[in-house]
A and B are shown apart, each in its own frame.
Chain A
Amino acid sequence: MTSQVSSPATEHRVLGEQRKPAKETRQLDRVIIRFAGDSGDGMQLTGDRFTSETASFGNDLSTLPNFPAEIRAPAGTLPGVSSFQLHFADHDILTPGDAPDVLVAMNPAALKANTGDLPRGAEIIVNTDEFTKRAMAKVGYAVSPLEDGSLDAYAVHPVPLTTLTVEALKEFELSRKEAERSKNMFALGLLSWLYHRPTEGTEAFLRKKFAKKPQLAEANVAAFRAGWNFGETTEDFAVSYEVAPASHAFPTGLYRNISGNLALSYGLVAASKQADLPLFLGSYPITPASDILHELSKHKNFGVRTFQAEDEIAGIGAALGAAFGGALAVTTTSGPGVALKSETIGLAVSLELPLLVIDIQRGGPSTGLPTKTEQADLLQAMYGRNGEAPVPIVAPSTPADCFDAALEAARIALAYRTPVFLLSDGYLANGSEPWRIPEIDDLPDLRVQFATAPNHEGPSGEREFWPYLRDPETLARPWAVPGTPGLEHRIGGIEKQDGTGNISYDPANHDFMVRTRQAKIDGITVPDLAVDDPSGEARTLVIGWGSTYGPITAAVRRIRGAGGAVAQAHLRHLNPFPRNLGDVLGRYEKVVVPEMNLGQLAHLLRAKYLVDARSYTQVTGLPFKAEQLADAISPDLIVGAIQEESADV
């Protein structure tokens, strides 16, 4: 197949033409850049823009935003450092990368917090203006690291970013402080030059963002261009780099860059459309899930109702009320919110109404690490309710996969009349990657049939409606929405008599209902687990779930690249598990389960399948690194040679 990447949509092309650097150009197959600065320095925006430029250029990419929970942590301190890592390549990649090739450090704190992650020879672009005695003392530098030889292992580019930015903007009527604020755009301009990124998208973006303050828009564009021109003219940068588009990495189609939370939001809108049911979101703001509430609030013209409730409990309560009324109901939250919603999830289990509970997991327990990632809510989703209250669980594996996972969660909820957990996490939520935009015709049909007529014959031949008379195949009960004549019925959290749904304290009936609710969830149809074992000789299986897909797959590639054989499988359905999971596990001598928790999936696998699953865990608030995982999965296969590989992480 010959494939090529065409230019991005030409819509924005009129604004600023594509410029080509004049210096020597070298080709690279991939680069990892980390932008780091104070949480007020605009590093997330800078990273987002570089990502958009990179996406429109056609590289494969993967991103890792990493920021503190404080909106403006104390300036210049280590805890206040905010960073954005971006990995882009001319081939398909799976993670934001283990170690940055380039670090952009906007101040001493950003340098200090990040040098430990840099390999020898990495480039550091450092804003020398911020290296004052006081700023250095704040993070424990007695002597300037720029002068004491401690950075000799790296290629340091000292750039007075602040001064240059202020100088570039002197024509604008801005205070020094206002002008300084554009230094992130200067840095972005410089990096855009260094890696031949398209520039017109960023200029259009700035003009749109500051549409109401044209002066600020032009100042930012000027700073951005000044950064680009600085690269072109300064002698400190002799070479610039090209990373060709990832021409062969992608199937044909129309692509865009997308983050997990955006993909999830779109998945919900799509599910509503495919189910032909209005979408209702009941939610309470919580990091890192709030972006879904924000996004869905923009799409009222799709009939989407968003309700910002007074608390987490009201968020899910309102959603459940809307589900009773026939809506595709959703609540979005993170771990602490799930804890508060648990009782209502139990009610939804008892009422047997469709409801999506979306948990964007973050570090715990308690408030934990609000802006960092973790996978430690699996057992909470699985078991965190009173009584026997089984809930299906679906987990997306990459940012773009959040779209499909939302549709799948909706399918299960609607078809089986049950609450469903969707377990995303902070890494998927904020990370982004290219997404092949699906054809609407290819989306699943999620339409449901509401009950319209009585379904049972009473003792004297009269037609009655029994709200708990189940579909023999799915065990789903009828969904009879208010407004349907003749089907008036009452449901509640008290145990119900099988069939009629009337209150029942009968021991045998309770036993039957508990087992039936469990059987309904156990019987949900989910696809078999696919195993990737190209050599067919692997004796080790590595199995994961959720956002570890990228790092695990990268690690597996490393092992295979070094001549090792390892099989890989990744679970999307955690309740119920795929039917063939037991067989798959039984085929391998060794089963390794990497997780960002203390072994919750491993625990479930051991309990259910009596398999000696080996847990490999990390709870740093950050995703796994591929190299470390490769070592853990198959230590005997990791030889020195692998370091020489251009390891495709």
Chain B
Amino acid sequence: MSEAPAVEHPAPGGLPALSLVPKADAKQSMKDFKSDQEVRWCPGCGDYAILAAVQSFMPELGLARENVVFVSGIGCSSRFPYYMNTYGMHSIHGRAPAIATGLAASRRDLSVWVVTGDGDALSIGGNHLIHALRRNVNLKILLFNNRIYGLTKGQYSPTSEVGKITKSTPMGSLDAPFNPVSLAIGAEASFVARTIDSDRKHLTAVLREAAAHSGTALVEIYQNCNIFNDGAFDALKDQATAEEALIRLEHGRPIRFGAGAAKGVVRDQATGDLKVIDVTPANEHEVLVHDAHAASPTTAFALSRLADPDTLHHTPIGVLRSVERPVYDTQMSDQLEAAVEQHGKGDLAALLTGSDTWTVVG
């Protein structure tokens, strides 16, 4: 049941997305990516597991550590850069995608990662997130979704279920939540994936694919806040329920899940939508084969809608969408080069002089 997605391990540092990033001279270990700062999340926080997964995954990329940058906003998850022994910026609420865009667009020799949360990315920073995704800047965005505001001590977030009782919503929250994966697909994202803090293997596999992707990659990571929203993802973690609740997507494989892979996702011929069926020898051929590289986002979007926002049943995880699209920073550089080809390298004296001048002589 918990087999990893079928991903070939890329040669260290040989990913197309990272071709301009210098490689490390020597073999790295997890220790190389740990900073000297004391980690200050609450004991038991899901962030620890994600940090450990990222720190142990980074050596696999074999990048020069000094060419890796983590940029974050505000919130519990946004403390992340302090704990990575790379370059890092802990910025302001919601703005990390904008700041990282400027950095990535002007420095193509860097591997730029954004760490954000559901409040940071989807509430105060929603605008920057969708625009980063549509631009397809070479950024890897890790969105830690715990469905609650942690650092401000427990208000409902834009991913909280309707009716959530919190300090700011004693009679239950009224607003419908975002599904981050649906939102990202709607925002023209070229890479969208979802994973879970406690599934180290799956998380690492998704990170690996995200790192290999050219352009913006959005990785939603379900993350447990054991203080203000404990157990939010238990339906996906408890052995007893997970099997029926989780749909593990693997590119090129039929979308089946449940005990004995008894359930499958098929297209409803009447509506064109997707639905879950009990698989039988008679209908087995109808089960959808997952195609993360499909040019149209329609099926990926439909997959993202299978999940029930309240019970989390039929939650797809893995890479929902991974397509090639022109990358903003590459194109920006190309324009600079084309301008030099067309007009020659800028000549300041000629620029200042222009074409309409007169001379005053002594």
Instruction: Kindly list chain A residues whose C-beta atoms are within 8 Å of the C-beta of B65.
Output: 485, 488
A347 contacts which of B92, B104, B345, B352 (Cβ < 8 Å)?
Answer: B92
Q: How far is the CB of A221 from chain B (nearest CB, A)?
A: 18
Give the residue of A250, A257, A273 whose beta carbon is less than 8 angstroms from that of B348: A273
Q: Which residue of B lies closest to A494 (CB)?
A: B90
For the complex, is B128 an interface residue (Cβ under 8 Å from A)?
Answer: yes
Contact, CB under 8 Å: B100 / A321: yes
Q: Is B339 an interface residue (CB 8 A)?
A: yes
A508 on the B face (CB < 8 A): no
Q: Which of A175-183, A309-317, A569-577, A579-587 contacts B (4 or more CB under 8 A)?
A: A309-317
User: With A313-B128, A437-B352 given, can you name 7 additional A-B contacts, CB distance below 8 Å?
Assistant: A6-B360, A9-B355, A253-B360, A269-B351, A326-B107, A440-B348, A488-B65
* A246 → chain B closest CB, angstroms: 9
Residues of B with C-beta under 8 A to A644: none
Question: Sorted from nearest, which 6 A-B pairs have the closest CB atoms?
Answer: A492-B90, A318-B102, A321-B102, A317-B98, A302-B346, A300-B339
Which residues of B lie under 8 Å from residue A343 when comparing CB positions? 92
- Return chain B residues, CB-CB under 8 Å to A493: 74, 90-92
Query: Which residues of chain B are within 8 angstroms of A301 by Cβ–Cβ distance?
Result: 336, 339-340, 342-346
- Residues of chain B contacted by A438 (CB below 8 angstroms): 352
Contacts of B352 in A (CB 8 A): 266, 270, 437-438, 440
Q: Is the beta-carbon distance between A321 and B101 smaller than 8 angstroms?
A: yes
A254 and B351 form a contact (CB under 8 A): no
A455 CB, nearest partner CB in chain B, Å? 16
Complex Cα–Cα for A8 and B354 (A): 12
Closest to B333 in A: A305
CB of A88 to closest CB in B, whole Å: 13
Contact with B along A467-496 (1 / 0, CB 8 A): 000000000000000111111111111100
Known contacts A309-B98, A321-B101, A438-B352: does B106 contact A490 (CB below 8 Å)? Answer: no
A contact residues around B68 at 8 Å (CB):
482
Whether A254 contacts B128 by the Cβ 8 Å rule is no
Is B359 engaged at the interface, CB distance under 8 Å to the other chain? yes
Q: How far is the CB of B359 from chain A (nearest CB, A)?
A: 5
19 A-B pairs whose Cβ atoms sit less than 8 Å apart in the complex: A4-B361, A6-B358, A9-B358, A201-B356, A252-B361, A269-B348, A269-B351, A302-B346, A307-B102, A309-B98, A310-B98, A317-B99, A319-B102, A321-B104, A324-B89, A344-B92, A347-B92, A436-B360, A503-B82
Q: Contacts A314-B101, A314-B128, A317-B98 known; A347 to B91 CB distance under 8 Å? A: yes
Closest A residue, CB atoms, query B72: A492
Residues on A with C-beta less than 8 A from B353 are 254, 256, 437
Whether A6 pairs with B103 at a CB distance below 8 angstroms is no
For residue A278, which residues in chain B have a CB less than 8 angstroms away from its CB?
Answer: 106
Residue B131 interfacial (CB < 8 Å): yes
Whole-angstrom distance between the alpha carbons of A52 and B110 in the complex? 46
Query: B282 within 8 Å of A by Cβ?
Result: no
For residue B85, CB closer than 8 A to chain A, the reply is: yes
Q: Is the CB of B102 within 8 A of A282?
A: yes
A251 contacts B by Cβ under 8 Å: yes
B356 touches A8 (CB 8 A): yes
Complex Cα–Cα for A326 and B335 (A): 20
Find out whether the CB atom of A324 lies under 8 angstroms from the CB atom of B348: no
Chain B contacts for A56, CB-based, 8 A:
356, 358
Residues of chain B lying within 8 A (CB to CB) of residue A252? 360-362
Is A93 in the interface zone, CB < 8 Å from B? Answer: no
**How far, in whole Å, are A252 and B361 apart by their CA atoms in the complex?**
5
Which label, helix, strand, loop or mixed, suits the secondary structure of the A interface?
mixed
Cα–Cα distance between A436 and B358 once the two chains are bound (Å): 10
Bits for B86-130, please: 1 = Cβ < 8 Å to A, else 0.
Answer: 111111100100111111111101100000000000000001100
B357: chain A residues within 8 A (beta carbon): 8-9, 254-256, 437
Q: Does A559 belong to the interface (CB within 8 Å)? A: no
Q: Shortest Cβ distance from A504 into chain B, in angstroms? A: 12
A460 within 8 Å of B (CB atoms): no
Assess whether B106 is in contact with A492, with CB atoms less than 8 Å apart: no
CA distance A314 to B91 in the complex (A): 13
Q: Is the CB of B359 within 8 A of A322?
A: no
Asked if A6 and B359 sit within 8 Å, CB to CB, the answer is yes
A437: B residues at CB distance < 8 A: 352-353, 357
| Bound complex: CA A502 to CA B69 (Å) | 17
Cβ of A563 < 8 Å from any Cβ of B?
no
Do B67 and A490 touch (CB < 8 A)?
A: no
Residues of the B chain whose Cβ atoms lie less than 8 Å from the Cβ of A55: 356, 358
Instruction: Report A113-125 CB contacts with B as 1/0, cut-off 8 Å.
Output: 0000000000000
Q: How many of chain B's residues touch chain A, expressed as a range?
A: 35 or more
| Alpha-carbon distance A183/B358, docked complex (angstroms) | 29
B116 to chain A, nearest CB (A): 13
Return the CB mask of A49-86 against B: 1 if under 8 Å, else 0: 00010011110000000000000000000000000000
Q: Are B106 and A256 in contact (CB under 8 A)?
A: no
How far is the CB of A584 from the nearest CB of chain B, in Å?
Answer: 33
Contact present for A311 and B89 (CB under 8 Å):
no
**Chain A: CB-nearest residue to B88:** A490
B288 to chain A, nearest CB (A): 35
In the complex, chain A residues whose CB is within 8 Å of the CB of B327: none
**Would you call A327 an interface residue if the criterion is a C-beta within 8 Å of the partner chain's C-beta atoms?**
yes
Q: Is the CB of A256 within 8 A of B356?
A: yes
A489 — which chain B residues lie within 8 A by C-beta? Answer: 87-88
Contacts of A302 in B (CB 8 A): 345-346, 348, 351
Question: Chain B nearest CB: distance from A131 CB in Å?
Answer: 36
Query: Inside 8 A of A482's CB, which chain B residues have their CB?
Result: 66-69, 87, 103, 107, 110
Q: Are A317 and B362 in contact (CB under 8 A)?
A: no
Contact residues in A for B342 (Cβ distance below 8 Å): 301
- A325 engages B348 (CB within 8 Å): no
Q: How far is the CB of A66 from chain B (nearest CB, A)?
A: 24
User: A323 contacts which chain B residues (CB < 8 A)?
Assistant: 102
Judge whether A490 and B105 touch: CB under 8 Å.
Answer: no
CB of A351 within 8 Å of the partner chain: yes
Nearest residue in A to B69 (C-beta to C-beta)? Answer: A482
**What separation, in Å, do the CA atoms of A438 and B352 have in the docked complex?**
8
A303 touches B356 (CB 8 A): no
**A413 CB, min distance to chain B CBs, angstroms:** 16
List of A residues within 8 angstroms of B128 by Cβ: 310, 313-314, 317
Q: Which of A303, A320, A346, A440 contacts B349 (CB 8 A)?
A: A440
The docked-state distance in angstroms from the alpha carbon of A344 to that of B74 is: 13
How many Å from the CB of A550 to the closest CB on chain B? 20
Q: Which residue of chain A has the shortest Cβ distance to B40 in the bound complex? A: A503
In the complex, A270→B335 CA distance in Å? 20
B332 located at the interface, meaning its Cβ lies under 8 Å from any Cβ of chain A in the complex: yes
A3 to B343, CA, bound (A): 36
Interface flag for B241 (CB, 8 Å): no
Task: Give the complex CA separation of A586 and B336 in angstroms.
Answer: 53
Contact bitstring B225-267, A, C-beta under 8 A = 1, else 0: 0000000000000000000000000000000000000000000
Q: How far is the CA of A6 from the CA of B37 in the complex (A)?
A: 69
Q: A8-B356, A8-B358, A482-B69 are in contact. Are A280 and B110 (CB under 8 A)?
A: no
Cα distance A314–B2 when bound, in Å?
40
Q: Which chain A residue shows the least CB distance to B359? A: A6
Cβ of A150 under 8 Å from chain B: no
Interface bits A264-278 vs B (CB < 8 Å: 1, else 0): 001001100100001
